[in-house]
């Protein structure tokens, strides 16, 4: 996009570094501008269009012009963020709905720090620079990965490992991911190649294998350790996923030892 077109279509409005001490909540909308939030410290939950998205340090939250939203902060940690507001230019990153990304290489943080150094200013050249820097922020936002996909597999794997002795449902995993059940299941399959519950079963079988080889626990006790109903359920799932029975694995290990 040519510089002249960029300057005509996009205009910097304001950039602020803000601090809030929880509990804090405020319902509002920006009638004449868009807003992007970079979370520096703490956690912010925003109810918008019937959903709640969660922003943690490094997360960027986009809030379109004219859409009512309710940001809130709870817990002991102070919330610290940078808020950038501008008019126009959302087509640069195909921004037409609330979104959340992760500033993986802190490129946007550096741009926002530069903007904060310049703002406020009455100098025309600084105004043009603020427009240009805002343009680079939006462009970079469009390139960044949504944390729901970038960190999703690791986050869900950690959750499963920490709750392996409990019954887990797709609803539980979606709640941990801060996503709707159907969006979570679809996104998870796209980025990992397997279903969320498929990963649960895989990790349970891996845990069963470890317990079979490293302990003398009976199958009933192992089933409890990995969140399965009983030894029969364990044996059925183990055979389906590995092609052999738990007993065969133990016997082969004993023979080889």
- CATH number for the domain harbouring residue 229: 1.10.10.60
Alpha-carbon distance of 138 to 7, in angstroms, equals 13
- Which are the contacts of 52, defined by CB distance < 8 A and separation ≥ 6? 45, 46, 178
Percent of residues in the chain assigned helix, strand, coil, to nearest 5: 50, 20, 30
Same domain, 154 and 116: no
Exposure pattern of 87-125 as b/e (b: 16+ CB <10 Å)? bbbbebbebeebbbbbbeeeebbebbebbeebbeeeeee
Confidence (pLDDT) at 222: 95
Instruction: Looking at the structure, tell me whether residues 130 and 155 fall in a common domain.
Output: no
CA distance 37 to 44: 10
pLDDT at 73: 92
Helices (H) and strands (E) in the chain, counts: 11, 9
Confidence (pLDDT) at 148: 54
Statement to judge: residues 70 and 116 lie in one domain: yes
Number of domains within the chain: 2
How far apart CA 101 and CA 66 sit, in angstroms, is: 21
Say yes or no: 86 and 22 in one domain. Answer: yes
SS3 74: coil
Cα separation, 160 vs 191, whole angstroms = 17
Residue 180 carries which DSSP code? Answer: -
pLDDT at 142: 83
Q: Consecutive 10-residue runs of the chain (257 residues): their mean pLDDT?
A: 53 96 91 94 89 86 92 89 92 76 87 96 93 93 67 82 92 88 84 86 90 90 93 92 86 63
Quote the domain boundaries for residue 165.
Answer: 150-256
Both 14 and 123 in a single domain? yes
Q: Are residues 239 and 123 in the same domain?
A: no
Same domain, yes or no, for 80 and 155? no
CA pair distance 47, 33, nearest whole angstrom: 19
Sign of dihedral through CA atoms 194, 199, 200, 201? positive
């Amino acid at each position: 996009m040519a510089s002249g077109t960029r300057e005509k279509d996009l205009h910097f409005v304001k950039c602020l570094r803000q601090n809030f001490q929880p509990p804090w909540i405020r319902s509002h909308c920006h009638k004449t501008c868009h807003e992007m939030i970079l979370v520096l410290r703490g956690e912010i939950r925003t109810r918008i269009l019937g959903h709640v998205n969660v922003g943690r340090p490094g997360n960027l939250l986009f809030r379109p012009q004219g859409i009512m939203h309710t940001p809130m902060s709870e817990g002991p940690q102070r919330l610290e963020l940078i808020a950038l507001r501008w008019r126009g230019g959302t087509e640069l990153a195909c921004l037409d709905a609330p979104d959340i990304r992760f500033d993986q290489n802190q490129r946007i943080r550096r741009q926002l720090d530069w903007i904060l150094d310049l703002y406020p200013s009455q100098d025309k050249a600084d105004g043009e620079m603020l427009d240009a820097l805002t343009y680079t922020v939006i462009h970079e936002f469009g390139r960044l990965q949504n944390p729901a996909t970038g960190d999703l597999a690791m986050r869900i794997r950690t959750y499963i490992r920490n709750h392996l002795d409990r019954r887990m449902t797709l609803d539980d995993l979606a709640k941990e991911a801060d996503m709707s059940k159907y969006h979570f299941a679809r996104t998870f399959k796209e980025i990992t190649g397997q279903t969320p519950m498929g990963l649960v079963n895989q990790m349970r079988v891996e845990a069963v294998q470890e317990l079979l080889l490293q302990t003398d626990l009976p199958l009933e006790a192992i089933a409890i350790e990995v969140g399965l109903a009983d030894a029969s359920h364990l044996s059925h799932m183990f055979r389906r996923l590995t092609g052999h029975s738990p007993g065969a694995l133990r016997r082969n290990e004993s023979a080889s030892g």
